[in-house]
Structure 1
Amino acid sequence: MQRLATSLARYIHPQPDDLEKIVSRFRHKVLKKGRFLIRGGQISQEFLFIETGCLRVFWQQADREVTGWFAFEDEFFCELSSFLPQRPSVYGVQALEDTALLVLSRAEMEQLFREVPVFETFVRKFWEQIITHLVESIISFQTETAEKRYEKALQHPKLIQRVPLKYLSSYLGITPSSLSRLRKPR
């Protein structure tokens, strides 16, 4: 729970009793490698903090899976397109490694908004961060070459060291063979 408290402090500075109220509402959940947190068609009911491990967000496009996002330890995660409007998700969320999570239900989140107003500030800042990342990703895919996207990925060692190449290539919008060519030393 200390990692959760430390990560919350990157966004907000609650009083100690408020921090305790927030942290105490999260419950532990373990997702084994390959297991799904959410499958397409399910409605997301959870806001998460990843203690250890890695999650992959993907969708089906024709006959293949397209990977759109990864989340690693010490990050917050939520499948927003389902969680916010409470509609079935078009995404799957899968553990790429054994993953330890701290989970806050939607109902508990709403309760915390009423009891600890600074928590609502935290969630708003988290949403802003996600929206900014998504806009940057869209611009990257529209304006940058695959080589440039790969160079940016190299700045994130967790991606390069822990994500299987088939998922990394999908995330970068290229084929596995194109990724192999980019990875070869020149």
Structure 2
Amino acid sequence: METLKQEIKDLSQGNKDQVAEIIHSLKSVRLAKGDFLLKAGQICRQYFFIDSGSIRLYYLKGSNDYTVWIGTAGQIFTDLESYLGQTESRLNFEAIENATVYTISKTNSDKLALKNNAYNTLLRRTVEIAFVNLSRNVISFQSEEASERYKRIEKEKNWIAQYPLKYISSFIGVTQSSLSRLRAKKD
């Protein structure tokens, strides 16, 4: 849990007691590959803190699934639309390898936010990071070629060797065969 503790400390900018209170408020969930934290149609009532493993967020359209994000150790996330509006999620949160995730319910999160300023900072910074990533992805899809998006993923993330190409191809908005051609051109 050291990576996650450090991320909580860095994002919250809290003192030792504040960080300890945040950590103490979390509940551990162990997931096997293929287990779901959330399925489309459910209401997201938790924030998630990844301690180990990877979680893929994706949606279904027809018989195809589209990867929105892959979270790894130390990352904090939720489905903001569902969590804030308490509406049905359009996303699935699936463990793509064995994972340990810590959670905090919306009720407990709201209570903690009232008494722990560092937790408020953590939540704010998590939303800021999500917004920046969303903005980057929108601009990327509007202004970059698929080859540029692939190069950016290859440079910024450790996904290429770690995850199936079908997840990478859907994340950058191309078919698997198009991704294979991009990879062949690069080599």
What TM-score range do you get, normalising by the shorter chain?
Answer: over 0.9
Equivalent residue number for residue 79 of structure 1: 79
Structure 2 SS opposite 1:83: helix
Q: Which structure 2 residues correspond to residues 1-186 of structure 1 after superposition, within 5 A?
A: 1-184=1-184, 185-186=186-187
Q: Deviations over 1:14-68 (max 9, x none)?
A: 1222121111001110111011111110001111111111111111113311111
Contact 1:43 1:86 in 2 (8 A): yes
Task: Find runs of 4+ consecutive structure 1 residues off by over 3 angstroms.
Answer: none
RMSD: 1.3
Cα deviation for residue 3 of structure 1 reads 2.9
Deviation string for 1:103-133 (max 9, x for gaps)? 1111111111112122112101110110111
CA contact (8 A) 2:59 2:65 kept: yes
Number of aligned pairs? 186
Paired letter, 1:145 = E
Task: List alignment gaps of at least 5 residues for structure 1.
Answer: none
Give the Cα–Cα distance (whole angstroms) in 2 for the partners of residues 4 and 172 of structure 1.
27
CA deviation string 1:59-82 (max 9, x = no partner): 111331111111111111211121
The whole-number CA distance in structure 1 between the counterparts of 2:63 and 2:119 is: 41
SS of equivalent residue, structure 1 residue 155: helix
> Which amino acid is the alignment partner of residue 167 of structure 1?
Y
Counterparts of 1:166 and 1:149, CA distance in 2: 15
Paired residue type of 2:132: T
Letter in 2 for 1:91: L
Using the TM superposition, give the Cα deviation of residue 157 of structure 1 relative to its aligned residue in structure 2, in angstroms: 4.4
Contact 1:4 1:23 in 2 (8 A): no
Query: SS of the residue aligned with 1:125?
Result: helix
Task: Judge conservation of contact 1:26–1:103 (CA < 8 Å) in 2.
Answer: yes
- Give me the whole-angstrom Cα distance separating, in 2, the residues matched to 1:139 and 1:30: 35
Letter in 2 for 1:27: K
- Once the two structures are overlaid, the 10-residue window that deviates more, 66-75 or 153-162, is 153-162
- Whether the aligned pair in 1 keeps the contact of 2:13 and 2:121 (CA below 8 Å) is no
Shift of 1:12: 2.7
Q: Secondary structure at the match of 1:137?
A: helix
**Alpha-carbon separation, structure 2, partners of 1:109 and 1:141:** 34
Using the size of structure 1 for normalisation, the TM-score is: 0.95
C-alpha separation between the residues in 2 aligned to 1:3 and 1:104? 18
Where do 5+ consecutive residues of structure 2 fail to align? none
Residue 151 of structure 1: how far off its partner (Å): 0.4
- Secondary structure at 1:57 match in 2: strand
**TM-score, normalised to structure 2's length?**
0.94
Match of 2:51, SS? strand
| Native 8 Å contact 2:9 2:19 kept in 1 | no
Equivalent position SS for 2:85:
coil
